Structure 1
Amino acid sequence: MSELPMWPTLPADLIINILLRLPVKSLGKFKCVSKKWLHLITDSYFVSMYREISVRNPNILVLKKTPLLREAHMKKCTRIDLCSLNLDGSCRNDEFSLYVNDDEKNIEVLPSKWDLICFVSESGFYVCNPSTQVMMKLPEASCCTSGEVNAGMGYVKETDEYVLVHLFDRSLDIHVDYDIGCEVLRLKDGTDCEWQVMEANCPFVVRGWGVLVKNVFYWMIWDEYNQPGDEAIVSFDLEKKEFGNVSPPEGHFDPQGAWSLVELGGKLSLVDNATRQLMVDIWVLNDLDNHIWVREYSIDMNGYGSDLFKSIIPLDYQDGKIWMDAKQESLDCYDVKKKHIKRMEHLISGEWTWLRIYTESFFWLGSR
């Protein structure tokens, strides 16, 4: 019996080019093909190239939480369904489920647009890599006596790590003599992690989730504004380990309005959904030292219902387009140059709880 003809060996560059186009889940299987493929896929150069391509081609991640029926004496459990899609809707990727031991009313997801998703619940913090479909519960955080969970998570490119900041109230009354501590957890690929309590205390009660921009986290202040304009945003510098504050746009900030913070194009942005009727104004902090804001974008939301446009949340800015979450009902794309909004309701079918942008990666949770 004659031997089967051998297929010609493909050039290494071509093999790499092909593998770079595949999802992480498939590459995980291909690592078992041979030692050569294992070395190629786990090589630092390949991983770096894969990250660069992923960042330029993010996916949509839709998440839905469903309480699981349990007996009264058993712990509560919630199933979280996840589904990823291409931004253009041409491909529907993996769908899978995770389980969190808590009531579904207590579970939230921190804002993110990178490769990890962080869940917050009364039982603690959980982090998930949708690409590998792995979730890990993080070390127990400090107890917050007020019951309010204020945190923020972001990716620091310079150190190739995720940073999670948790603000926790140690006082018995959130309105009187509050004592807000701060702890930081740094999450690196393939290593264990732990909380580090900072010496500095947060000087204000904050609202919403923290936003990371250039090694500094920002929160909107929850306190009453005695002099609107002086103090509206609190900051925490990861390098200096110090708190500060940032003034809002002079003469335009309404402390009672629907304002929120996001990171767009590497800059801190303040989103105003309430001051002007059927308009979403996005102010960008162009000069941090002098607290100079510029109203960079004004998006005409004519045609949206009043309830819907007030719930618009910008998710990301890429290639002249702002991707926006329209109340978990649609992913909308605003073309900055053409000043045109493209609605993409068809991408999201069913009732979903959260909508996020995420990128594929090999990030390994826990020690290797």
Structure 2
Amino acid sequence: MAEHIPEDVIAKIFQWLPIKSLIRFTSISKRWRFIILRDPHFATSQFQIASGNNKSVCFLSYSDSNFFESLNLQTTTSALRNLRCPFKQPDSMVFIHSSCRGLMFATFVGQGMVARYIWNPSTGFFKKLPDPGVKNEYQVFSGFGYISATDDYKILIANSNLEEGEEAKIHIFSSKSNSWKRIQDSQYSASSTTIMGTLLNEALHWLEMFDDVIVAFDLADEEFRTMPLPVVEDHYAGDYFRHLRVLGGCLCVFGQADTNAGSMDMWVMREYDAGNSWTKLFNLKFSNQPEGIISVKPIWVMETSTFLEINSNSETRVKLVRSYYNEEEIEEIHMDRRSMIGYEESLLWLE
């Protein structure tokens, strides 16, 4: 019957289907496989339609296994599926730094080498990046973003020799040129809890632990600037604010004065780059028994709830908790993994 349906109609129908179904359809015919996996216009259209409705949290393993796990946020905890990391090898580790439009920026470490990749866990696509020529120094922060006007993905890495107090050496990768370049050094050394840049308005954002500001890097202009944090009475900003994320197109910051309080505050910048627009929206409850919790990290922020990763002394596993804003309701998901990252599923890739 599909032979009698025009191809453009089939493509329009496909755009509304979930990634899991589309991947299954690639085995039906070569033409369908090409449309789903190799047509860049279809991949872009599908992502634009599905964005916001088909998000997943990817659970990452640091063991010798070549498999990660993915859990769709819109389904129940039984919807786990294994994902094979195609460049993972035995006796090695893969670190996932950040995600953008369904693509992951990852570093492979093992066998006496370090390699960097962009990987789409939904389709299995991966691309090994050129060597940026960075010394074996501490990576103080990084970020991954997309510039729509030029259809260019950019990756920023900032490395420094902390023992010598050096400024961060900034390198930028561009998918358009498929190359890295060194730009100006930066005096900023983002907090260790926010080493992954938060993408908003085609700029990357980090918390800066010494100056108590938000550092922003414009991906198009390739320039740094700073933005103010909320003014909070009775709290020192550097100790109170822990994480940056995005809620409904607005930058948000999470404040936590005491881990044992079992909750954290969410502040939202209602107008971008306007310090006077910060508003405390919610107090997120994350545990009924907060004693012994080592750290709490927001993984993915949604309109009705936030997913948080919790590490505690009493657990041998990382706990994923969903905290709802308007109710004191907590949904717990236990996973035997040591790190988590959120991403939107997509069919996108890099040429």
Aligned pairs for 1:331-342 (under 5 A) are 331-334=321-324, 336=325, 338-342=326-330
The verdict on how the C-alpha distance between 1:288 and 1:362 changes in structure 2, with shifts beyond 3 A counting, is closer
Q: Determine the structure 2 residue equivalent to 1:108.
A: 95
Q: Does 1:278 align with 2:262?
A: yes
SS in 2 for 1:49: helix
The verdict on how the C-alpha distance between 1:246 and 1:175 changes in structure 2, with shifts beyond 3 A counting, is farther
In 1: Cα distance, 2:331 partner to 2:301 partner: 15
- Counterpart amino acid of 2:190? V
The verdict on how the C-alpha distance between 1:45 and 1:242 changes in structure 2, with shifts beyond 3 A counting, is closer
The verdict on how the C-alpha distance between 1:322 and 1:303 changes in structure 2, with shifts beyond 3 A counting, is same
Per-residue deviation at 1:255? 1.5
Which residue, 87, 111, 118 being the options, matches 2:105? Answer: 118
Q: Determine the structure 1 residue equivalent to 2:168.
A: 180
Per-residue deviation at 1:184? 1.4
- Counterpart amino acid of 2:267? W
In 2: Cα distance, 1:313 partner to 1:141 partner: 30
Normalised by the length of structure 2, the TM-score is 0.78
Q: Determine the structure 1 residue equivalent to 2:345.
A: 360
Per-residue deviation at 1:212? 1.7
Q: Determine the structure 2 residue equivalent to 1:73.
A: none
Which residue, 26, 29, 37 being the options, matches 2:27? Answer: 29
Which residue, 43, 54, 57 being the options, matches 2:53? Answer: 57
Aligned pairs for 1:111-190 (under 5 A) are 111-112=98-99, 114-122=101-109, 123-144=114-135, 146-169=137-160, 173-174=161-162, 176-187=164-175
In 2: Cα distance, 1:358 partner to 1:289 partner: 25
Per-residue deviation at 1:249? 1.4
Which residue, 187, 191, 204 being the options, matches 2:188? Answer: 204
Query: What is the alpha-carbon root mean square deviation over aligned residues?
Result: 3.4
In 2: Cα distance, 1:109 partner to 1:55 partner: 21
Residues 18 and 54 in structure 2, CA contact (< 8 A), matched pair in contact too? no
Q: Does 1:330 align with 2:320?
A: yes
The verdict on how the C-alpha distance between 1:356 and 1:178 changes in structure 2, with shifts beyond 3 A counting, is closer
The verdict on how the C-alpha distance between 1:269 and 1:124 changes in structure 2, with shifts beyond 3 A counting, is farther
- Counterpart amino acid of 1:353? R
Residues 173 and 180 in structure 2, CA contact (< 8 A), matched pair in contact too? yes
Which residue, 33, 44, 47 being the options, matches 2:43? Answer: 47
Percentage of pairs with the same residue: 18
Structure 1 stretches lacking a partner, 5+ long: 1-5, 69-77, 224-229
Which residue, 91, 95, 104 being the options, matches 2:82? Answer: 95
Residues 60 and 355 in structure 1, CA contact (< 8 A), matched pair in contact too? no
Which of 1 and 2 has greater Rg?
1
Q: Determine the structure 2 residue equivalent to 1:221.
A: 208
- Counterpart amino acid of 2:166? Y
Per-residue deviation at 1:315? 0.8
- Counterpart amino acid of 2:52? R
The verdict on how the C-alpha distance between 1:358 and 1:212 changes in structure 2, with shifts beyond 3 A counting, is closer
Q: Determine the structure 1 residue equivalent to 2:219.
A: 238
The verdict on how the C-alpha distance between 1:144 and 1:222 changes in structure 2, with shifts beyond 3 A counting, is farther
In 2: Cα distance, 1:300 partner to 1:325 partner: 10
The verdict on how the C-alpha distance between 1:22 and 1:91 changes in structure 2, with shifts beyond 3 A counting, is farther
Q: Determine the structure 1 residue equivalent to 2:315.
A: none
Q: Determine the structure 2 residue equivalent to 1:9.
A: 4
- Counterpart amino acid of 1:268? L
The verdict on how the C-alpha distance between 1:30 and 1:358 changes in structure 2, with shifts beyond 3 A counting, is farther
Q: Does 1:247 align with 2:244?
A: no
In 1: Cα distance, 2:2 partner to 2:216 partner: 59
The verdict on how the C-alpha distance between 1:353 and 1:291 changes in structure 2, with shifts beyond 3 A counting, is same
Q: Does 1:83 align with 2:70?
A: yes
Residues 200 and 249 in structure 2, CA contact (< 8 A), matched pair in contact too? yes
Structure 2 stretches lacking a partner, 5+ long: 311-317
In 1: Cα distance, 2:208 partner to 2:54 partner: 31
The verdict on how the C-alpha distance between 1:205 and 1:39 changes in structure 2, with shifts beyond 3 A counting, is closer
The number of aligned residues is: 329
Residues 261 and 268 in structure 1, CA contact (< 8 A), matched pair in contact too? yes
SS in 1 for 2:50: helix
In 1: Cα distance, 2:100 partner to 2:78 partner: 19
Normalised by the length of structure 1, the TM-score is 0.75
In 2: Cα distance, 1:309 partner to 1:325 partner: 13
Q: Determine the structure 2 residue equivalent to 1:226.
A: none
Q: Does 1:261 align with 2:244?
A: yes
In 1: Cα distance, 2:162 partner to 2:37 partner: 50
